[in-house]
Every structure is written in C-alpha cells, then in structure tokens.
Amino acid sequence: MTTMIRNRQAMYGWMLLCPALVLLSLFAFVPTVSTVWDSMFSHRMPLRPDVFVGLRNYRGLFSDPTFWQVLHNNLLYCAVTIPLSIVLALVMALWADSKLAGRALVRLAYFTPTMLPMIAAANLWLYFYTPGLGLLDRIGHLFGAAPVNWLGQPQTALWAVMVVTIWKEAGFFMIFYLAALQSIAPELREAALIEGASRWYFTRRVVLPLLMPTTLFVLVNALINSVSLIDHLFILTKGGPDNASKLLLYWIWETAFAYFDESTAAAATVLVLAALAIVAAVQFAFVERRTHFQ
Amino acid sequence: MNLVHRALPLPAARARGGRWLSRALAKLDVLGAWLLALLWIAPLAFACWAAFHTPQATLAFDWRAPWSGANFVTAWQAAPWPRYFANTVLLVLSILAGQLVVCTLAAFAFARFHFPGKDAVFALVLIQLFVLPEILIVENYRIIVRLGLFDTILGVGMPYMASAFAIFLLRQAFRQVPRELEDAARIEGCGWFGVLWRVYVPAVRPVYLAYALVSVSSHWNNFLWPLVVTNSAATRPITVGLSLFGAPENGVDISVISAGTLLTTAPLLIGFLIFQRQFIQAFLRSGIR
C-alpha cells in the first residue's frame, strides 16, 4: 500500500516537473551540451559535412589577438564596474535607510535608472558624450578643457561605457542592501548606542558584517550581469573604436551573427560558461558554509 | 548618515565641540546624499528638457528657448510604435503567464512531493540561475529556428518561461505554508490540484505579485535575445524598435531621440512612479534568499 502511494507521489512529482524540465532542456541543458560539442567541430559549410577537429577551434581562439583584447576588456570592465557599483549601492542604501530629509525622493532618484531599458539609458548618455556639444564637454569647457570624443577614441570608450553600467546597476543593488538593512534588529543599534559606540563604529563592526551575505548575492548578480548585459554597447560604441570597448558576449554575437563563424563563437561561449560555472561553484560553497554556521 | 564619520578619528568626534562638529557632518551627509541623487537623475532630467526643445536650443543650452511638443510628433511618426508597444505587452504577458503555470507546478513538486532524484533535478534546475538564455544565443537561436518559431513572439518568450529563479522563489514560499492547511483541504476531499489551487496559490499571493512585477519590468527591458530572433515590425519589441530608431544611420537629432526614448519608456516609468512602493517592495521580497 505504502509503495503504491510512494509510486503515485513519484509519478505526480515528475508530471508536475515535466513542462519545466522540457523547457529547461530545450533552452539551457541541450544548448550547453551542444555548444561544447560544436566547439570541437569545423565551421559549418553548405554541402560539406562537419568535421571533428578537437581543440583546433580553441587554438584558433587563443591565437586571435581580438579574443585577448575582448577578454582583457571584459576583465577590466568587471574589475571596475563591480566594486564601484557595489560600494555606491551600499552608500546609497545607508543614505536611503537614514532619517534624511527627503529620503523618499533621494531613494527614487537612485532607483529610477534601474527601471529604464539599457537601450534607453544608452540613448540618454549618448547625448552627454557628444564631442564638443555634449553636456560633459560643455562642463569641461567651463574649466578650460579641450573637447573629448569620449566614445570615439580607444583610451576613453570603454570607460565611458563603464560609467553607464555603474549608473544603471548601483540603484538596483541598493535595493538588496536596503532590504538587508531593514532586517537588522533595532535593538542592536540601541544596545550599541548605550554602550557608547559611535555610529561609524556601529556601521563598521555590526552592520557591515551582517551585510556580508547580501554582498555575496549582489556580487554574483553583478558578475552575471557583467557578462550577459551588453545592450548599451549596441548604442554607444558597437564595441569600437578598434575593439577598444568590445565585451565578450558582444564579440560572440558578432562572430556568430555578423561573420557566421559559429565554431569560434561556440568555443568562446564554452569559456564563458566555464567562468560562470566557477562563479556558481564558489557561491554554492559559500552558501553551504553559511548554513553550516547557523 | 553613517558614512561621514569615517573622515575623523573616533576620540576627536566625542571630544570638545563634538556636538557642533557632528551637526555639521550631518549637514554634509545630507548634502552628499542629495548631490548623488541629483547626479543620478540628471541624465533623465536632461532628456526631458531636450525632448521639449529644438536640437539647436538643446545643444546651445539656451534655457530661455520656447518649449514645444514637436519632437514627440516627429518621433511618434518615425516608427510603428503602437505595434512595438503591442508586441512588448503581448511578449511580457505571455512570458509571465508561462512562468506562472510552469514554475508553479515545478515549485509545488519540489516543495511537497517526495520522489527519488528530486534533489539532483533541483540542483540541475539551479544551473539556469547562472546560464541565462542570452549566454547561449547561438544555440538557442538554432533551436528556435528548428522549432519554426523564428520571428514569432512565442519564440522570443519561450526560453524564459521555465525560470529557475521563479521555481526557487515559489518553492521557498510553498515550504512556509503550514501543513495543517493542506491536511484540512485533503479532509475536505481536495486532490493535489485542489490543494495547490485552493491552499498554496492563495497563501503565497504576495510572492506572486512580487515576482510578476520583477518579471514584467525585466522582460520589458530585454534587448539582446529579441534582437536576434525577431526580424520584422510585426514581432519586434519596443527595445529593439528603439535601437533601430536611434541608430546614427537614421540621422535623427538628439531632441527627437530624447523624445522617442521618453515616449517608449514612459509606460513603465509612470507605472513605476505610481506603484513605487509596491515595486520596491517587490524587488526587496524577491531579492531575499
């Protein structure tokens, strides 16, 4: 009897999972496996069968200077935008959580960029960056600076893109810090104040450690976004000039859909997947340890 | 308010004149918060101003230039916006509907059914938290073409319908529902579907609302995947339409681009302003893990 109930449970369970598993297989599991597979075959040609070439596509990738530049760009992009937007998000959250005059308006201003599509955000910033006539150069002009073609020269293009990313992301991450701050028991603050701790001391020794899990969560999200969110490149620079602001996924898109070199795109995608797998592994390891403590 | 205190060593703040100093610092603190807020809203504010002025006035920063709505008329006539809006609304709603059905069923299975292999499958599902459909655009594009769904709204939405995030969120929520409610429903004669529909779904309604807001706003803004799998005005969502409209080859000026950008983001922005509290609560709720 119990085995019958157990079998029934298992049957219903799998039935309920079925739609989700079919869709996840179609658009996550199968594509992942076939990307790895494709990365080891020659470039698809009409009328010619695919040929197994082993790691040749990877060798081609590693000998392509563009790949190294794009990888370097993406690493720099991560190293600059992630810490800056996290620190800004934390500062914003502390401000939005304090008893500031006009707190609601301030919070609204911080959060609004999050609601805009990245494409729209890029359009707005395009106006700021217009050489000579844009707002940035106008302000520079007041201080006697020469006009700069922010998006059109290799030295500044990637940095100009990063500013837009930070502007867009900081307010989003603020929300998670705000949630964490509001869940800190008020008694902790009262106890600290009675003990004579300054506000800064309280923030540093009590609040920041309590925000660590949030920081980890935000960090993982920021990492994923810094690989997968490249919409603004389409408006601001198209990866140029001379690949100076090209990020990995944009390059993959271009390689596959503009140059039709799907093998190289597949090999590059596998490397991105590997990086994401490391991020996932690190996160699960940390989360595991955290639950272990509790 | 906590941040400025970093600037000076602890004993100094407490020593003589501490009260005066801390009041000054609090003022600076407020100033900093407001300056950052102004900086953050500035791009949008300038776009609003530019949208109502001629490009000459905009680029010359002529503050006394007359206001006019002509840019909006030009922008509105430059692209099939009503069609793009309709496509986006249809896309966002079909993704949401798909997610609610598919993810509710899966989350219910993970939360309340016992069967061998459940934990392994759950771990597999969580992979999708990291491997977003955008990363796999090349393969996903191929699959959509093979399914005959290229350049259809269903093709744009389908890869997002089984959301690992929604499954995770709903599973957590379902697990908080007291067992007694389920037992009571069973005594009343409910089957598993009755239990799900009458007990679990109503019990976690706030989570559904939160997830719906997050899902709608993020898919409204999605760009790369729709760009790859749409090819006509009949399916293109508003973000792709906006990118075509603003492309430099089109030669539209900065004022018209600003007007077009505001026009296309207005529904979501106005919705956000009206339901601000709910929106932020939604993001807060869905963010806590």
Query: Amino acid letter at B55?
Result: P
Of B108, B63, B245, B44, give the one whose Cα is nearest residue A115.
Answer: B44
**B261 by DSSP, 3-state: which?**
helix
Q: Which residues contact A210 (CB under 8 A, 6 or more apart)?
A: A180, A184
Q: Which residues of B touch A199 (CB under 8 A)?
A: 1-2, 5
Q: Which residues contact B224 (CB under 8 A, 6 or more apart)?
A: A230, A231, A249, A253, B134, B137
Domains of chain B by range and CATH? 4-74 (no CATH), 77-287 (1.10.3720.10)
Asked if A201 lies within 8 A of B32 by C-beta distance, the reply is: no
Structure-block tokens of residue A21: 């598993």
10 Å Cβ neighbour count for B118?
16
| pLDDT score of A15 more than 50 | yes
Residue of B nearest to A92 (CA): B33
3-state secondary structure A101-151: CCHHHHHHHHHHHHHCCHHHHHHHHHHHHCCCCCHHHHHHHHCCCCCCCCC
- The helix or strand, by DSSP H or E, that contains position B151, with its residue range, turns out to be none
Shortest distance between the Cα of B96 and any Cα of chain A, in A, equals 14
Shortest distance between the Cα of A147 and any Cα of chain B, in A, equals 14
pLDDT of residue B8: 43
Shortest distance between the Cα of B206 and any Cα of chain A, in A, equals 16
CA distance B195 to B182: 6
Cβ atoms of A283 and A220 within 8 Å: the answer is: yes
Q: What is the pTM of this model?
A: 0.85
In chain A, the largest separation of any two C-alpha atoms, in whole Å, equals: 87
Cβ atoms of B138 and A263 within 8 Å: the answer is: no
Shortest distance between the Cα of B135 and any Cα of chain A, in A, equals 6
CA distance A7 to A180: 42
Of A2, A174, A189, A206, give the one whose Cα is nearest residue A88.
Answer: A174
Structure-block tokens of residue B47: 């776009």
Among A50-64, A109-123, B244-258, the range scoring the smallest mean pLDDT is B244-258
A14-37 core/surface letters (b: 16 or more CB in 10 A; e: else): bebbebbbebbebbbbebbebbee
Shortest distance between the Cα of B104 and any Cα of chain A, in A, equals 9
Cβ atoms of A121 and A232 within 8 Å: the answer is: yes
Q: Mutation target for A interface from B84, B140, B223: give the one with most A CBs within 10 A.
A: B223
CA distance A270 to A32: 8
Shortest distance between the Cα of B196 and any Cα of chain A, in A, equals 11
How is A155-191 classified by DSSP, letter by letter? Answer: HHHHHHHHHHHHHHHHHHHHHHHHHHHHTS-HHHHHH
CA distance B220 to A119: 11
pLDDT tens digits, one per residue of A230-261: 999 998 888 878 888 999 999 999 988 888 88
Q: Mutation target for B interface from A11, A23, A261, A287: give the one with most B CBs within 10 A.
A: A23
Residue of A nearest to B14 (CA): A198
Q: Which residues of B touch A288 (CB under 8 A)?
A: none
Asked if B1 lies within 8 A of A21 by C-beta distance, the reply is: no
CA distance A52 to B15: 76
Distances from the Cα of B226 to the Cα of A65, B19, B41, angstroms: 30, 58, 28
Residue of A nearest to B285 (CA): A179
Rounded average pLDDT over A179-187: 81
3-state secondary structure B35-101: HHHHHHHHHHHHHHHHHCCCHHHHHHCCCCCCCCCHHHHHHHHHCCHHHHHHHHHHHHHHHHHHHHH
pLDDT of residue B286: 62
CA distance A214 to A208: 10
Residue of A nearest to B239 (CA): A119
pLDDT tens digits, one per residue of A80-97: 999 999 999 999 998 888
Mean pLDDT, contiguous 10-residue spans, chain B (289 residues):
44 55 78 90 86 77 76 84 92 95 94 87 87 88 91 91 90 88 86 88 86 87 92 90 78 80 86 79 61
For chain A, first and last CA: distance in Å?
Answer: 39
Asked if A198 lies within 8 A of B224 by C-beta distance, the reply is: no
Of A112, A93, A285, give the one whose Cα is nearest residue A183.
Answer: A93
Shortest distance between the Cα of B126 and any Cα of chain A, in A, equals 9
B13-28 core/surface letters (b: 16 or more CB in 10 A; e: else): beeeeeeeebeebbee
pLDDT of residue B4: 43
| pLDDT score of A187 more than 90 | no
**C-alpha dihedral over A24, A26, A27, A33, to 10 degrees?**
100
Asked if B136 lies within 8 A of A228 by C-beta distance, the reply is: no
10 Å Cβ neighbour count for B9?
10
Q: Mutation target for A interface from B10, B91, B135: give the one with most A CBs within 10 A.
A: B135
Residue of B nearest to A261 (CA): B138
CA distance A250 to A268: 11
Structure-block tokens of residue B275: 């339901």
Query: Amino acid letter at B44?
Result: L
Residue of A nearest to B224 (CA): A231
Cβ atoms of A96 and A112 within 8 Å: the answer is: no
pLDDT of residue A46: 60
Domains of chain A by range and CATH? 63-293 (1.10.3720.10)
Q: Which residues contact A195 (CB under 8 A, 6 or more apart)?
A: none
Q: Which residues of A touch B14 (CB under 8 A)?
A: 198
Which CB contacts under 8 angstroms, 24+ apart, belong to B110-115?
Answer: B110/A17, B110/B167, B110/B171, B111/B170, B111/B171, B111/B174, B111/B175, B112/B174, B112/B182, B112/B200, B113/A9, B113/A10, B113/A12, B113/A13, B113/A16, B114/A6, B114/A9, B114/A10, B114/A13, B115/A6, B115/A9, B115/A10, B115/A13, B115/A14
Q: Mutation target for B interface from A119, A135, A165, A236: give the one with most B CBs within 10 A.
A: A119
Asked if A280 lies within 8 A of B130 by C-beta distance, the reply is: yes
Query: Mean pLDDT: which of A21-25, A282-286, B216-220 is highest?
Result: A21-25
Q: Which residue has the tokens 């996932």?
A: A280
Rounded average pLDDT over A159-179: 90
